[in-house]
Structure 1
Amino acid sequence: MHTLLRSALALSVAGVVWSGGAHAQANQSSGKSNQGKGEIETVYIYGEIEQTKTATKLNLTVLETPQVVSVVSRDQIDDFALREVNSLLAYVPGVTVEQVETGRTYYTARGFDIVNFQSDGMGVPFSYGLTQGHDDTAIYEQVEVVKGATGLITGLANPSATINYLRKRPTAETKASLAASLGSWDQYRLDGDISGAIIEDKLNGRLVVARQDGDSYLDRYGKELTVFYGIVSGEITASTRYTLGHSSNDSHSDANSSGALPLFYSDGSLTDYDVSTNTAPDWAYQDVEQKRTFVELEQDLGANWTAKAVFTRNDLDSEWTSLYLSGRPDPVTEAGLLAHASLYQAADEEEVADLFISGSFSLFGQEHELVAGINLADITLTGRSIYTDEWNYNPVGAAWAEGKTALPEFDVYDAATQSTLIDQEQNSYYISTRLNLTDALSVLLGTRTVDIEQDGYSYGAPQLASDDETVPYAGITYEVLEGTMLYASYSEVFNPQTWVDKDLAPLGAVRGESKEFGVKQEIFDGSAVLTLAYFESAQENFGEWVTRDTASGLNIYRGVGFESDGVEVELAGEVLTGLNISAGYTHVGVENDNGDKTRRFIPTNQFKLATAYNLASVEGLRVGAGINWQNEIYYGDTEVQGSYALVDLFARYALTTNLTLALNLNNVGDEKYLLSPQWGQANYGAPRNVTGSISWRY
């Protein structure tokens, strides 16, 4: 069996080696035994108390990091069938998933958009904070979310959060898994994962594939997805290691909505449609192809120091036709909406190189850590919109929800005013250190200098920008008792924006500061961590959406000042034998320059809980529940969604050592709720649904 699996693995990853895919990291196992009942007990983990480099690039545990760190482990991903990043991040305390339409999503934390996304600790901020295609979780081992500004490792930061996706790594031990699932609305999915040694003690590899297809609770909407991920790693010498990898995520959706359902009727009253209502016609579609290629070379420099070079290329190609409906319909006839049809094509390219050294040194009887490096990024954003005279802001009839609006001929295209071409270079230089003043007291200091040069245009607006900033970071931790850590951190905020103002001129960069104070406590013999934190931040020239320019199609923004503050309480880990919990409560408030509450589409209070328990009375049975609660949200000063709670349940039963059955029931109470009202429109979230699966592991 080992020989057969190894041969299959070698053939599978051979294409990855030839294609020059890339990334490296020390081989890690998941910490779970593949042995069956009566042999080695399987250990499940929610959260993570091992080392994380997301916040500082230093070797710190969650306890030692002077910021709130939330971790979604592979066990939690599998238990709750969190197959899409949207569903995963919905379980992260303090994070909101602002799905403004079926194919585009923003994420927020602490009142602001999350724009910093990393893979294995490396990446550059998204230009718009907007994601498309909804990344799949099949290739990830766990996801770390560090709250607050992380200016030390990114240089560009909102005081929201940084999301770090940790990809699966090859293992020396041969492992394999297959899974098949079937769910509501004829959704099916197949997953495969194989890992092990290709050449004994020299070359390890891993291959992950997934295929998903099905309809949706939304009328006419359906999506198909294909995921591929291949990675190999090995040693050149005893002190030199490398990793090569490549991943692709291709998705196609039918009847994808552009915008969402109107929130208000023409008389000012709130709309109340069926959950399945969709503004998109049959001919609307969206294709998104995302490719990531990465390489890493790591060299030991003596016993305590390491040099690392990482190169990543990311390509995102997208195309969709859409019918955007705006306005407020008549409450009786449903007529009165305006239609805006378009064909949109875009291609984003990122090339990022990161070179740094890290290690430890002795001084004054203590061991200290140091990281210094350079990050070079070249980003190109291109896109164009093609319109039609016939359906460019013309009224549609009362039957728009039936999706029968005719497909127009797209023929109006003006390269000068309906396209985007932006070239941006981001070069940064950074240094950080952890100075252990005593065994209990540590100080973290760092600075990062960012130099940005940008040229190009977007829908008739010039995108010329040249800016540089030095962003400092400081943190302190004090272990007052064993397992009890007091901490504080400070970081400045610097984030260039591609938004334009009413004159179609670049808005400029956001500047500000972020502070956090808290205490972390190890509990239950160190198997779980409890965090209590207070945070506050201030920003100037933050881009606030004002309107959509009908002539160019551009979103118009204005620069405003914001202040936010709040508290977070989180608990993650194994709190009793066999009982795992990931839970958190968040309160956040955002005010503008006048002291008025703003960004009220974000709930001010959230509570999230994910728990799982291995029943001792029924060998092989694991059950759990999840709760996502939030208070009311607003569009402007009008409450559009009251408080609600979503409840999910799951059960997993090991039929044999290798074979497991699982059942997931989502939104058990069949709660009717709106997704993000950020744009003044909103679709409804999914009603009650069920997924059954069978999985085999070797």
Structure 2
Amino acid sequence: MRHSIPFCPKALSLIALSVLNTANAEETALSLPATDVTSTVTYGDTGNPQGYQGKPSSTTTRLDLTNQETPQGVTNIKREQMDDFKLNSIRDVLTSTPGVNVQKVETDRTYFTARGFDINNFQYDGTAMPMTNGLLVGDIDLAPYEQVDIVHGANGLMSGAGNPSATVNFIRKRPTYDPQAKIDVTAGSWDTRRVDIDVSGPLTDSGNVRGRVIYANENGNSYLDRYAREKNIFSGLLAFDLSDSDTLTLGYEDQKTNANGSSWGALPLVDGNGNAIHYSSIHSNISQPWVHWDVHTQRAFAEWEHTFANEWKSKLTVAGAEHREDTEMFYMYGDSTSPTGYTGLGSKYKDKNLELSGDYSLSGPFTLGGREHQLTLGANAARQRNRESSQYGDALNYSPVTLEDALHGYLPRPTYAAALPAATSNYTDRQKSVYAGARFSLTDDLHVITGARMLSADSNGDNYGAAREVRIHGKVTPYAGIVYDLTPEYALYASYTEVFNPQYYLDSQGRVLDPLEGKSYEAGIKAQLMDKKLNVSAAVFHAKQDNVPGSSTYDASLGGYVYEAMSYDSSGVELEASGEVAPGLQVNGGYTYVYITDDNDSRARKFIPRHALTSSMTYQLPMAPKVKVGGSLSWQSKTQNDDSPAARQDAYALIGLMTRYDIDQHWSTQLNLNNLTNEKYQQSLRYNQSNFGDPRNFTASVSWKY
């Protein structure tokens, strides 16, 4: 494992100063009741419910709607659930989200799908900054975040482009008016160690200036041979109350991941003749000792909020991100033409991606026909610049290798040649959009939500030898929804939106594929039960998407892969519940059924399970109120690779347990056990390769809070 990055002395000084400052802020500070870290996210008049019941942040729906008022499925994963089940990364959170399928195609690269389609709409406090092609490279640690909102289905109004999968919105922790601090130390299987530090509070006597400092470090090995990883996370925020109506918030975040023994691709599941390969050990890894994958992401934002006297609000956000990768990788696959039956490839590449975006929105109530309605208007602009170069090793440039040598880490490190123009990219993507949305209360019980976004996009530059030229102007994505309140507890809803998303893949003629287009429909019922402490919902959905990149082949004349455009239809059912089922009993979970077909009405994308169940539950023992116990269950039906039927995964279930004991108002201890039954399973069949999933493991932690 690489040398640990030491804790930054400057960050330590800031934390110490913050603690001293908050300790002196009020003479009665020591008498304040201990409390968990909370966020200043705007939650409207109903506030942020306790426990697992969530309300989307105002940035998620733009119209500051509750779950009941939103004509789509919404899942909220709150900080309390993250802490209970040690959901430290976005991969952990989306694995625990009903309706979302997580495909860990490699140790350090992940796809997410919902309703049969890739998720590529990602936001930070409502500002869209998409991951390239829906990929997560490295990991996004959630130490700086208070909540994650997932809006199921197409979301053309709130996002830069429509997509029938889902939108994921990261809600940042914010500086607080009250002093608070928390330190959490965790140790677990495979020498995994983690520390989390979170300090927040006022920096002036009046509290008009507030600060928050967050630091986390995670370091450990793995059940996979030769794989180890270290993560360092730092986040600092300042909030200034410029007046009674104006707040300025500045923030910076730095996430760094260094991984050794990473897999590029994973274990081949079939040989060159399509026959299944059986591995005796879940520790198997094709990565070599010289392989590494280092990822460094920095984010910064400035946000100015203004409240008008007539209850209208405006918000201006400017955000930037820099994403860097430095890797040296090894890939292999079954090949019937190779004398050994397998072909290997060594590669070394560097990537730098710069994103800059700005968003301005104005929202508030207005009166029409004697009734009060809600309106939001806004504009968004974003620019992304990417530079990447790939070098291929002479000794492992599509060369015969043996599976045995790869599994034992015997393959030598290659010598790399300089990157050729056909192995580099240098391009810029731009998007501009304006949007408007309104919620009309036609009667006390009937509400209509409608809106549209007009998008323009253009690109220029080269991507691995192919011109990256896209010009789209004035494309309108409409959105419509209706909610009817049957009773104060129950509401029926339906929604419709068109799907549009620019893309940059090439077809066999060397032309960019047409934008993703389609339609998405959803209808369901929602309810607030148990004195409005429990949200339940049931939905049916149907989506169609055209021009989806399908099977790919390498075209030497074009210097890269070319794709066949496909069309897919997706239909299904989603059931979900979150909140308090009984006093002290919190639950968040659901069931999903999805059926996907292609142009020929044949079942497609079989690597996505048709049936899936996800649930988490905790119980505060009434006879021992200092003790909390809980469990998690995830189950999915059988899956297989679309092109290789021999690559298949039977249905399986994973069970987790947790217990926490509050020693006093400051100290607590917790134990988590994952994969209780030590289930052997594969992480993803998407690309005919997969590592085995985590075997039984545990974490133990001690926390102090003020």
Please report the TM-score for the alignment, with normalisation by the length of structure 2.
Answer: 0.92
Deviation at 1:552, TM superposition (A): 7.5
Partner of 2:200: 195
Aligned match of 1:7 in 17, 22, 27?
17
Letter in 1 for 2:361: F
Distance 1:291 1:506, change over 3 A: same
Question: Aligned equivalents of 2:660 and 2:555: distance in 1?
Answer: 51
Aligned match of 2:590 in 584, 587, 601?
584
Structure 1 range deviating more: 406-415 or 204-213: 406-415
Distance 1:496 1:70, change over 3 A: same
Question: Aligned equivalents of 2:698 and 2:43: distance in 1?
Answer: 27
Q: Is 1:633–2:630 an aligned residue pair?
A: no
Question: Aligned equivalents of 1:267 and 1:452: distance in 2?
Answer: 44
Count of aligned residue pairs for this structure pair? 669
Distance 1:30 1:173, change over 3 A: farther
Question: Aligned equivalents of 1:334 and 1:608: distance in 2?
Answer: 45
Partner of 1:664: 672
Question: Aligned equivalents of 1:119 and 1:10: distance in 2?
Answer: 31
Question: Aligned equivalents of 1:553 and 1:106: distance in 2?
Answer: 25
Aligned match of 2:361 in 356, 361, 368?
356
SS of aligned partner of 1:429: strand
Q: Is 1:173–2:186 an aligned residue pair?
A: no
SS of aligned partner of 1:151: coil
Q: Is 1:611–2:613 an aligned residue pair?
A: no
Q: Deviations over 1:588-608 (max 9, x none)?
A: 011111101111110011001
The answer to whether the 8 A contact 1:257-1:278 is kept is yes
Q: Is 1:58–2:59 an aligned residue pair?
A: no
Partner of 1:323: 330
The answer to whether the 8 A contact 1:585-1:607 is kept is yes
Partner of 1:213: 219
Percent of residue pairs bearing the same amino acid type: 36
Partner of 2:399: 394
Q: Deviations over 1:513-563 (max 9, x none)?
A: 101000001111100111000000111111123245578874432111111
Q: How does 1:459-498 map to 2 (within 5 A)?
A: 459-468=464-473, 469-498=475-504
Letter in 1 for 2:180: K
Q: Deviations over 1:394-427 (max 9, x none)?
A: 0113321011210111114202x00111211100
Deviation at 1:389, TM superposition (A): 2.4
Distance 1:553 1:218, change over 3 A: farther
Partner of 2:261: 255
Partner of 2:10: none
Aligned match of 2:657 in 649, 666, 674?
649
Letter in 2 for 1:691: T
SS of aligned partner of 1:88: helix
Partner of 1:529: 535
Partner of 1:599: 605
Q: Deviations over 1:205-246 (max 9, x none)?
A: 111100110100100000001000111112112211110000
SS of aligned partner of 1:671: coil
Distance 1:454 1:648, change over 3 A: same
The answer to whether the 8 A contact 2:607-2:685 is kept is yes
Distance 1:445 1:55, change over 3 A: farther
Partner of 1:421: 426
Distance 1:8 1:52, change over 3 A: closer
Distance 1:292 1:575, change over 3 A: same
Partner of 1:305: 312
Q: How does 1:539-550 map to 2 (within 5 A)?
A: 539-548=545-554
Deviation at 1:300, TM superposition (A): 2.1
The answer to whether the 8 A contact 1:116-1:162 is kept is yes
SS of aligned partner of 1:677: coil
Deviation at 1:476, TM superposition (A): 0.5
Q: Is 1:517–2:523 an aligned residue pair?
A: yes
Deviation at 1:85, TM superposition (A): 1.2
Partner of 2:301: 294
Partner of 2:40: 27
Distance 1:258 1:504, change over 3 A: farther
SS of aligned partner of 1:674: coil
Deviation at 1:322, TM superposition (A): 0.4
The answer to whether the 8 A contact 1:109-1:160 is kept is yes
Deviation at 1:443, TM superposition (A): 0.5
Question: Aligned equivalents of 2:353 and 2:462: distance in 1?
Answer: 15
Distance 1:338 1:5, change over 3 A: closer
Letter in 1 for 2:690: A
Please report the TM-score for the alignment, with normalisation by the length of structure 1.
Answer: 0.93
Letter in 2 for 1:478: Y
Letter in 1 for 2:513: L
Partner of 2:103: 98
Distance 1:552 1:405, change over 3 A: farther
Question: Aligned equivalents of 1:199 and 1:334: distance in 2?
Answer: 72
Question: Aligned equivalents of 2:84 and 2:42: distance in 1?
Answer: 18
SS of aligned partner of 1:27: coil
Partner of 2:30: none
SS of aligned partner of 2:190: helix
Structure 1 range deviating more: 208-217 or 383-392: 383-392
Question: Aligned equivalents of 2:16 and 2:410: distance in 1?
Answer: 53
The answer to whether the 8 A contact 2:42-2:58 is kept is no
Deviation at 1:326, TM superposition (A): 1.5
Letter in 1 for 2:654: L
SS of aligned partner of 1:293: strand
Partner of 1:560: 566
Q: Is 1:283–2:293 an aligned residue pair?
A: no
Q: Deviations over 1:5-24 (max 9, x none)?
A: 78335899xxxxxxxxxxxx
Question: Aligned equivalents of 2:412 and 2:16: distance in 1?
Answer: 54
Question: Aligned equivalents of 2:493 and 2:80: distance in 1?
Answer: 29
| Contiguous gaps of at least 5 residues in structure 1 | 13-24, 32-41
Aligned match of 1:678 in 669, 679, 686?
686
Aligned match of 1:569 in 569, 575, 582?
575
Distance 1:43 1:489, change over 3 A: closer
